[in-house]
Amino acid sequence: MNYITLNNGQKIPQLGFGVYQISNEETEKAVYNAIVAGYRLIDTAISYGNEVEVGRGIARAIDDGIVIREDLFITTKLFVNNVVNQETAAEAIKESRIKLGLGYIDLVLLHQPYGDTFGAWRALVAAQRDEQVKSIGISNFDSAQMIEFIRINDMNVTPQVNQIEINPWNQRKEDLAWHEKYHVQAEAWAPFAEGRHELFTNPSLIEIAEKHKKSVGQVVLRWLMQRGVVALAKSTKPERMRENLDIFDFSLDDNDMNKIAELDKEESAFFDHHDPEMVEWFMDRIDHTQPRLKGW
């Protein structure tokens, strides 16, 4: 496993395991199997509703002697209804620690660029100073929002990570340059675009995969590794968990990298975070009379 050093000195595994859309029934086993397979970074979120089960999977792996807590890098994210103000954010961090069963969380992110992100950031910085959380960051901030956030926040703490969609259809070339300039580590969600636009049967990706005797999934993850991005891959199947980890014994050459660069559609395979209807949808998740509690 490769590790990358964040702007606060903490080391993050470059390849991680995501648990979005894994059912509550399956999550404990998936997390346990992922740790057995060799993943050390587990990515969850309050909105996934499976922090308790993630915590159980981790506890089982530690009980069985597969890892110790310090080997693991656990991430969660505050949803918009936790980012109403500093207090809702502080409370959510505490609740996540309880649900995950962890004394500290390795990385807590603001999941969306909405709400009182500056107030919530104060709560994250305070939790980091109290050592409840080791690293703090943002997610789904575009580069302009990220720069504003870094330059104006009164806590003077630059996010360690920005977790954004990066995959062959949405390669974020310019965004990666801005992340590098501001020393914010880019982390890719949906590296496979959840298979959209027939990613796993794309002829160019298949050609590169056959050349290296690897799978399309492995080529995509290797491409992210070579671009200096941290990637989160999700699979509930142990054989795919192992396959996705087996990417450190080959390299893509310039020709391969250029071929993949040609696939860029420069747009999300999912939705635009600036679309007013989507912003409305996110705002509907907040109940201002009970800021923490609605539905998630």
Ligand X SMILES: NC(=O)c1ccc[n+]([C@@H]2O[C@H](COP(=O)([O-])OP(=O)(O)OC[C@H]3O[C@@H](n4cnc5c(N)ncnc54)[C@H](OP(=O)(O)O)[C@@H]3O)[C@@H](O)[C@H]2O)c1
| Active site residues per annotation | 48
| Binding status of residue 215 toward ligand X by CB under 6 A | yes
* Beta strand 105-110 pairing with 73-78: parallel
* Position 43 contacts ligand X (CB under 6 A): yes
Q: How far is the CB of 16 from ligand X (least distance, A)?
A: 8
Least distance between ligand X and beta carbon 215 (Å): 6
Does 18 engage in binding with ligand X (CB under 6 A)?
yes
The alpha carbon of 166 is separated from its chain's Cα centroid by a whole number of angstroms, namely: 11
Which letter does DSSP use for residue 167 in this model?
B
Burial of 5: CB neighbours in 10 Å, binned 0-12, 13-18, 19+? exposed
* Other beta carbons less than 10 A from residue 188's beta carbon: 26
- Report whether 111 belongs to an annotated binding site: yes
Pairing of strands 3-5, 161-165: unpaired
For ligand X, the binding residues in 143-182 under the rule CB under 6 A are 163
Residue 140 interacts with ligand X (CB under 6 A)? Answer: yes
Site residues for ligand X, 227-246, by CB under 6 A, read 232-237, 240, 243-244
Cα angle, residue 37 at apex, residues 220 and 137 outer, rounded to 5°: 60
Residues in 86-115 at the binding interface with ligand X, rule: CB under 6 A? 111
Rounded to whole angstroms, the Cα distance separating 160 from 149 reads 12
Contact pick of 78, 146, 166, 190 for ligand X (by CB under 6 A): 190
Q: How far apart (Å, rounded) are the C-alpha atoms in residues 273 and 223?
A: 25
Per CB under 6 A, the segment of 79-87, 113-121, 191-199, 257-265 that binds ligand X is 191-199
Q: Among the residues of 14-142, which ranges form H helices? A: 24-37, 51-63, 86-100, 117-129
Q: Tell the smallest beta-carbon distance from residue 14 to ligand X (Å).
A: 14
Interface with ligand X (CB under 6 A), residue from 13, 159, 191, 291: 191
Which one of residues 91, 194, 246, 264 is an interface residue with ligand X (CB under 6 A)? 194
Size of the site for ligand X (CB under 6 A): 27
Q: Which is nearer to ligand X, 24 or 290 (CB)?
A: 24
Q: How far is CA 165 from CA 149, 155, 175, 270, in A?
A: 19, 27, 11, 9
Judge whether 245 and 38 are in contact, CB under 8 Å.
yes
Closest-by-Cβ residue to ligand X is: 18
Structure tokens at 209: 């995969």
Cα 154–chain centre separation: 25
Q: How far is the CB of 142 from ligand X (least distance, A)?
A: 13
Do residues 139 and 114 make contact, with C-beta atoms less than 8 angstroms apart?
A: no
CB of 188 to ligand X, least distance (A): 8
Q: Which stretch binds ligand X (CB under 6 A): 92-100, 124-132, 183-191, 258-266?
A: 183-191
Site residues (vs ligand X, CB under 6 A) = 18-20, 43, 111, 139-140, 163, 189-195, 200, 215, 217, 232-237, 240, 243-244
Detail the residues annotated as belonging to a binding site for substrate. Answer: 111
